[in-house]
Amino acid sequence: MKNSGAHYVTACAVGCGAGLRDSGITLPEGPLRRCVECGQLLSSATEAQYLRSLGRFDNTAGTLPDATSQSRHDKNTARRLGKLAAALGRAPETIRLLDVGCSSGAFLRTACRLGYRAEGVEPSADAAQTARAAGLKVFTGYLEQAQFADATFDAITLIEIVEHLRDALGLMRECARILKPGGVVLVTTPNARSWTARAMGARWAGFSLNAMGGHISFFNPHSIAMLAARSGLAVHHIETRNVRFFERGQCSRGLHAAAKIAAELLNWPARLAGAGHDLHAYLRRPL
Ligand SMILES: [Zn+2]
């Protein structure tokens, strides 16, 4: 892939005024640049490359899990929602929840089934329509376009969204505005400072613009905390989970099996070191 245009991302997505330096990690779109203040890694993709890559989930299926990953999806979603409810100290039935970038509604389906009063926003018209056809309440468009009133929601979820944005700070400030005082935002994103990312370098699947449908901004626990602070949110809890060297289908079955065993052994130490592959941040709007 040849990069012949200007960078789509020109400044740190976390809102730092500091400069960007070459990270030494070179992707097909060009080198990842590192914010000297928060360590965020930023893509060198052009706007055209970025927009092309976004097409991956812009369809009626969206991010619905396939049959083999449905039970894992349900289990992971239930665990995250349980932590949200615990952070709020409330029963699901009393929690008004907004899933931002809900795609075709996989997360919302589980949330509604568990009793949450959940709705979503989604810019892909096809994916949003799939969600509505399943009986879910979904606004088609970007969060700012939905124009929710101040202090509308008890909880907001951003599941694998912020890594797709060049202005994550703008989105988080809007989330903070529509969140009730005491409300909680859950942000999940790949951890660019994970052992997995460090071991794999440019081959880390999380860095792949096209395979991941537009990943351009790569967080670490520190940059997420800075994003929270600049949005007026307090860190309730940040955790990292899992070591994963290959995504399914990325390598031979034998290698995948061996990498999986190695990853299992490293899961707990990675979690203790804040170096797991998946970064989950629970952020609270102060009372
Ligand atoms: Zn930064």
pLDDT in tens, 150-192: 999 999 999 999 999 999 999 999 999 999 999 999 999 999 9
Q: Is 213 contained in some domain?
A: no
Q: Is 137 contained in some domain?
A: yes
Q: Is 170 contained in some domain?
A: yes
Angle between helices 106-113 and 70-88 (to 10 degrees): 60
Q: Is 136 contained in some domain?
A: yes
Confidence of residue 227 (pLDDT cuts 50, 70, 90): very high
- How close is the Cα of 248 to the center of ligand 1, in Å? 31
Say whether pLDDT at 229 is over 90.
yes
Residues 62 and 95 sit within 8 Å (Cβ to Cβ): no
- How close is the Cα of 240 to the center of ligand 1, in Å? 20
Give the pLDDT confidence score for residue 211 in this predicted structure.
Answer: 81
Angle between helices 168-178 and 221-230 (to 10 degrees): 50
Confidence of residue 8 (pLDDT cuts 50, 70, 90): very high
Query: Which residue(s) pair with 100 in the sheet?
Result: 121
Predicted confidence (pLDDT) per residue in 79-88, tens digit: 999 999 999 9
Please tell me the distance from the alpha carbon of residue 124 to that of residue 143, in angstroms, as a whole number.
Answer: 12
Say whether pLDDT at 246 is over 80.
no
Q: CATH no. for residue 104? A: 3.40.50.150
Q: Is 25 contained in some domain?
A: no
Give the pLDDT confidence score for residue 4 in this predicted structure.
Answer: 53
Q: Is 10 contained in some domain?
A: no
Residues 186 and 111 sit within 8 Å (Cβ to Cβ): no
- How close is the Cα of 15 to the center of ligand 1, in Å? 6
- How close is the Cα of 222 to the center of ligand 1, in Å? 10
- How close is the Cα of 283 to the center of ligand 1, in Å? 18
Residues 203 and 197 sit within 8 Å (Cβ to Cβ): no
Residues 72 and 60 sit within 8 Å (Cβ to Cβ): no
- Which residue range forms the structural domain that includes residue 111? 59-204+220-284
Query: Which residue(s) pair with 41 in the sheet?
Result: 34, 218
Confidence of residue 241 (pLDDT cuts 50, 70, 90): confident
Residues 179 and 285 sit within 8 Å (Cβ to Cβ): yes
Q: Is 171 contained in some domain?
A: yes
Taking the whole predicted model, whether its pTM rises above 0.85 is answered as yes
- How close is the Cα of 24 to the center of ligand 1, in Å? 17
- How close is the Cα of 166 to the center of ligand 1, in Å? 11
Q: Is 184 contained in some domain?
A: yes
Confidence of residue 247 (pLDDT cuts 50, 70, 90): low
> How many structural domains is the chain composed of?
1
Mean pLDDT calculated for residue range 261-278: 82
